[in-house]
Structure 1
Amino acid sequence: MLTLAFILMFVLLLLGFPMMVPLLIGALAMMLMLLPGVDPTSLIRAMISGVRPSVLVAVPMFILAADIMTKGHTANRLLDLVHAFLGHRRGGLPITTAVSCTLFGAVSGSTQATVVAIGSALRPKMLKAGYKDSFTMALLVNSSDIALLIPPSIAAIIYGVAASESVGELFIAGIGPGVLIMVMFSVYSWWISKKLDIPLGERVGWADRLRALRGAILPMGFPVVVLGGIYSGLFSPTEAAAMSVFYALVVEMLVYRSVKLSDLPSIALSTGLITAVVFILVGAGQAFSWVISMAQIPTEVLGPILDTVADNPTMLLVVIAVSFFVACMFVDPIVAIFVLTPIFIPAIDASGLDPILVGTLVVLQSAIGSATPPFGYDIFTAMAVFRRPYMEIVKGTPPFIVMLLATTVLLIMFPQIALFLRDLAFR
């Protein structure tokens, strides 16, 4: 019966139904087959409980701030700053892409917004410079996923809700792995540029660099306001999200004048649509997680594996990483986090692992899976933005996936990559 339910979900997914439909139908089917005595309205209560935590209010706020800045000049000013300092070096354009995606991720927290804002501006320039389109799109897709690690990270918020952990600690723990990935991508970009013998860009004078720096001061102030407010105790993560909207409005409407009052309804509509999808996925994921927990499916499937690695924290981290990586290749990271996290929480508590380290590892796997075939959702975002076929988008991804998996290994071997800044801020 369980196999039939999963086959039904997979068929619905292949037929093109949105992810929440297979989840809810699968949850209902398993409930009727495996829990016949349970009131079906319990499924609705589970969905409501999934979207009830107050910290989730931060999600639409950060999405709205990202939409405002994508509409405005924030991305271009960050691009100008990075290019002014790095554009003349070997691999200047792709390195600018990796660094700009990291910076814009720290401003927006959205992978889709990063693909649109940075990719639209830099992809034509990289193609003109002589880079292959497969490399260019793979770099953009994978660099944009650094936004899942660099705060404000929506994936970190979701994991904080699912595991009842501090969102503030998860935010700062993601900085180290995010910067490490940016450095790896930059080194690879330098090597590719040298291999292809791409001509060096024109050096920008210090007057232009200072002008670019002045132009980027306000966008760079965004993470300072958000993170500074959280870690100083001035804001909670939810209040910081509201402040991010206020800051984005002030910068784009009053200072840059790039967003008009008449633009706000369309921006709000875009935010509302994305938020609706996110919250439906959260509710559906919580309902599915509740059903499989009630039916004790996780215990039956993963129980023997978890028993085997219970006394070995390193192997437990490996099992967690593999499980989330594979899951995020097929479903939205939000769903994977809500379904899998409750399965591993007892083993994590018993092993003595730092839950913030585990959360950072989970968010990293969400980032990897989001850009990994067959169903990584940023692949489809790139298809829509660049209007290129699926195989062309994924052709250049293997080297980046290898680097991301190498980051996973390094994080498991050297937890201080994530925990150093966390300990500095909170211990």
Structure 2
Amino acid sequence: MTAAMVGTMIVLLLLGFPMMVPLLGATMLGFFVFFAGMKPEIMIQQMIGGVKPSALIAVPMFILAADIMTKGHSANRLLDLVMSFVGHVRGGLAITTATTCTLFGAVSGSTQATVVAVGGPLRPKMLEAGYKDSFVMALCINASDIAFLIPPSIGMIIYGVISGTSIAELFIAGIGPGLLILFMFSLYSYFYAWITGIPTQPKATWGERLTAIKGSIWPFGFPLIIIGGIYGGIFSPTEAASVCVVYAVVLECLVFRSIKLSELPEIALSTGLITAVVFILVAAGAAFSWTISFAQIPQAILGSIGLDQAGPYMVLVAISIAFFVGCMFVDPIVVILVLVPIFAPIVDASGLDPVLVGIIITLQVAIGSATPPFGCDIFTAIAIFRRPYFDVIKGTPPFIFMLLAAAAGLILFPEIALFLRDAAFDK
């Protein structure tokens, strides 16, 4: 049965069908061929149940907020703030790019939105300053991965719904690894600029810095709503997402006046299309997960490779490899939907903290999203920067190595992620 379902998915993928079709095709094969006596209504029930959790309401809300801010001025104001403080140091423009990606990740939760919002305005400036285009594009692509870790994170929401893990705890736990990666990228940028002789930028005056601080006060309301609201017990993650949409509309339409109210329906339509794809994938993934769980396929797979007897470290290594490789070829949401149920039995048996597992999975899918051959952020960069595929991926190896080193550090030292979670939730 396992070989037949996997074979069906591979054949349908090679024929060029979108990922929802292979998922549903393999699921229907399981229902109608291997479970011939089972009523087809059960598959429909599982699909509806997959999109029923109220926590999923946060997904379209965060996507809509990110779309509004990407079209508005929030990203540029965050960029000006970071540039005014670190632009004059060695590698300042590169550090500004990585830091702005982190800050914008805290208001958008989307890697692709971050590539668009930050990479677009900063790439010309970095090229003018003397940075190689391969370095610039690789930095933009990989620094956007931090947005997948810094709350809000759509990947964390999907994982939390599937695994039953607290989304609020996942959000808080992602901050430490995100800041660690920012530090690594900033250090690399400093030495890259020093070795290649990139000139420094003029130092901003305190007057310019004060102006930048005033301009960025409003965008900093987003992390205050998300992190402060959840930590303070004022909002649930779903409620925080809804408040973020209202705040984004007020900010961009009334305060900055970068978007007209008449443009909101078009932005909402774009969000609706993206959300529809995500929810169809979630529904298909829920039916697929139920099918393989009912057939005990995860236990068979993990038992055949000996993971059912492995210790916690080996389980985390196996999870890291599986999710990293998977996202090199398939969309991150699909990989989470397919692989989380497979590894669920061994995670429960090993006694691993589900929040730690969720952060490692989120990091690995973020890395895979920026890794050749088919990382989704690569193709976003190709569309935004209008450069050939091989030019875009040329500079990615050093960043991928740093991200993998961060993942290894997270496995060896879980406190990187769990320290803030434990402090915030008194664990």
- Where on the TM-score scale, by shorter chain, does this alignment land: which range? over 0.9
Asked whether the 8 Å contact 1:35–1:295 carries over to 2, the reply is no
Residue 24, structure 1, aligned to residue 50, structure 2: no
**2:256 alignment counterpart:** 256
Encode CA deviations 1:151-202: one digit per residue, 9 max, x unaligned. 0111111111011011000000000000101111111111211121111111
Which of structure 1's runs of 4+ aligned residues deviate more than 4 A?
A: none
**1:170 alignment counterpart:** 170
What CA distance in whole angstroms lies between the structure 1 residues aligned with 2:287 and 2:385? 35
Q: Return the letter of the residue paired with 1:17.
A: F
**2:395 alignment counterpart:** 396
Cα 1:331–1:65, aligned 2, differ >3 Å: closer, same or farther? Answer: same
Cα 1:413–1:306, aligned 2, differ >3 Å: closer, same or farther? Answer: same
Shift of 1:36: 2.6
**1:202 alignment counterpart:** 202
Cα 1:11–1:373, aligned 2, differ >3 Å: closer, same or farther? Answer: farther
Shift of 1:337: 1.5
For structure 1, which segment, 412-421 or 220-229, has the greater mean C-alpha deviation from structure 2 after superposition? 220-229
What CA distance in whole angstroms lies between the structure 2 residues aligned with 1:194 and 1:12? 49
Asked whether the 8 Å contact 1:156–1:363 carries over to 2, the reply is yes
**1:318 alignment counterpart:** 317
Structure 1 vs Structure 2 CA RMSD? 1.5
Aligned-pair identity in percent equals 66
Shift of 1:105: 0.3
SS in 2 for 1:36: coil
**2:326 alignment counterpart:** 327
What CA distance in whole angstroms lies between the structure 2 residues aligned with 1:148 and 1:6? 28
SS in 2 for 1:365: helix
TM-score by length of 1: 0.96
After superposition, residues 6-405 of structure 1 pair within 5 angstroms as 6-304=6-304, 305-309=306-310, 312-405=311-404
For structure 1, which segment, 65-74 or 7-16, has the greater mean C-alpha deviation from structure 2 after superposition? 7-16
What CA distance in whole angstroms lies between the structure 2 residues aligned with 1:209 and 1:361? 36
For structure 1, which segment, 166-175 or 27-36, has the greater mean C-alpha deviation from structure 2 after superposition? 27-36
Residue 413, structure 1, aligned to residue 407, structure 2: no
For structure 1, which segment, 332-341 or 13-22, has the greater mean C-alpha deviation from structure 2 after superposition? 13-22
Encode CA deviations 1:398-418: one digit per residue, 9 max, x unaligned. 111111110111001111100
What CA distance in whole angstroms lies between the structure 1 residues aligned with 2:139 and 2:335? 24
What CA distance in whole angstroms lies between the structure 1 residues aligned with 2:9 and 2:119? 33
Shift of 1:124: 1.1
TM-score by length of 2: 0.96
Q: Return the letter of the residue paired with 2:102.
A: T
Q: Return the letter of the residue paired with 1:307.
A: D
Asked whether the 8 Å contact 2:298–2:345 carries over to 1, the reply is no
For structure 1, which segment, 126-135 or 52-61, has the greater mean C-alpha deviation from structure 2 after superposition? 126-135
What CA distance in whole angstroms lies between the structure 1 residues aligned with 2:21 and 2:391? 29
SS in 1 for 2:229: helix
Asked whether the 8 Å contact 1:149–1:175 carries over to 2, the reply is yes
What CA distance in whole angstroms lies between the structure 1 residues aligned with 2:316 and 2:239? 32
Shift of 1:257: 1.0
Asked whether the 8 Å contact 2:155–2:333 carries over to 1, the reply is yes
Q: Return the letter of the residue paired with 1:306.
A: L
Shift of 1:3: 3.4
Encode CA deviations 1:17-63: one digit per residue, 9 max, x unaligned. 22212221222234334323322332222211111100000110011
Encode CA deviations 1:78-123: one digit per residue, 9 max, x unaligned. 0000111111111111111100000000011111110111011011
What CA distance in whole angstroms lies between the structure 1 residues aligned with 2:374 and 2:38? 33
Asked whether the 8 Å contact 1:34–1:295 carries over to 2, the reply is no
Shift of 1:71: 1.1
What CA distance in whole angstroms lies between the structure 1 residues aligned with 2:134 and 2:37? 53
Asked whether the 8 Å contact 1:285–1:334 carries over to 2, the reply is no
SS in 1 for 2:99: helix
For structure 1, which segment, 201-210 or 386-395, has the greater mean C-alpha deviation from structure 2 after superposition? 386-395
What CA distance in whole angstroms lies between the structure 2 residues aligned with 1:306 and 1:3? 19
Shift of 1:259: 1.3
Q: Return the letter of the residue paired with 1:406.
A: A
Asked whether the 8 Å contact 1:55–1:237 carries over to 2, the reply is yes
What CA distance in whole angstroms lies between the structure 2 residues aligned with 1:347 and 1:16? 33
Asked whether the 8 Å contact 1:105–1:148 carries over to 2, the reply is yes
Shift of 1:6: 2.8
Shift of 1:2: 4.2
Shift of 1:264: 0.5
What CA distance in whole angstroms lies between the structure 2 residues aligned with 1:393 and 1:145? 16
Asked whether the 8 Å contact 2:2–2:297 carries over to 1, the reply is no
Q: Return the letter of the residue paired with 2:371.
A: T
SS in 1 for 2:160: helix
SS in 2 for 1:219: coil
For structure 1, the residue ranges without an aligned partner over 5 or more in a row are none
Shift of 1:346: 2.7
Encode CA deviations 1:291-313: one digit per residue, 9 max, x unaligned. 2222222222112422230xx21
Asked whether the 8 Å contact 1:173–1:356 carries over to 2, the reply is yes
Asked whether the 8 Å contact 1:379–1:393 carries over to 2, the reply is yes
What CA distance in whole angstroms lies between the structure 2 residues aligned with 1:383 and 1:42? 42
Q: Return the letter of the residue paired with 2:383.
A: A
What CA distance in whole angstroms lies between the structure 1 residues aligned with 2:228 and 2:128? 40
What CA distance in whole angstroms lies between the structure 1 residues aligned with 2:289 and 2:327? 15
Q: Return the letter of the residue paired with 1:3.
A: A
Encode CA deviations 1:370-407: one digit per residue, 9 max, x unaligned. 11122211111112222222222222111111111101
What CA distance in whole angstroms lies between the structure 1 residues aligned with 2:244 and 2:137? 29
What CA distance in whole angstroms lies between the structure 1 residues aligned with 2:411 and 2:27? 33
For structure 1, which segment, 369-378 or 261-270, has the greater mean C-alpha deviation from structure 2 after superposition? 369-378
Encode CA deviations 1:337-390: one digit per residue, 9 max, x unaligned. 222222222322232221111111111111111111222111111122222222
Shift of 1:5: 4.0
